[in-house]
Amino acid sequence: DQQVKQNSPSLSVQEGRISILNCDYTNSMFDYFLWYKKYPAEGPTFLISISSIKDKNEDGRFTVFLNKSAKHLSLHIVPSQPGDSAVYFCAASPRETSGSRLTFGEGTQLTVNP
Which residues bind to other proteins, rule: CB under 8 A?
4, 34, 36, 41-46, 49, 89, 91, 96-107
* Alpha-carbon span 90 to 94, nearest angstrom: 14
Instruction: Output the smallest distance, CB 31 to other proteins, in A.
Output: 12
- Which CB sits closer to other proteins, 34 or 73? 34
Q: Which bin fits 41, alpha (ψ -120 to 50), beta or left (φ > 0)?
A: left
Amino acid at 92: A
Instruction: Output the smallest distance, CB 16 to other proteins, in A.
Output: 29
- Which CB sits closer to other proteins, 15 or 27? 27
Phi, psi of 83 (to 5 degrees): -65, -10
Instruction: Output the smallest distance, CB 28 to other proteins, in A.
Output: 19
- Which CB sits closer to other proteins, 15 or 109? 109
Instruction: Output the smallest distance, CB 20 to other proteins, in A.
Output: 20
Q: Are strands 32-38 and 103-104 parallel, antiparallel or unpaired?
A: unpaired
- Which CB sits closer to other proteins, 79 or 104? 104
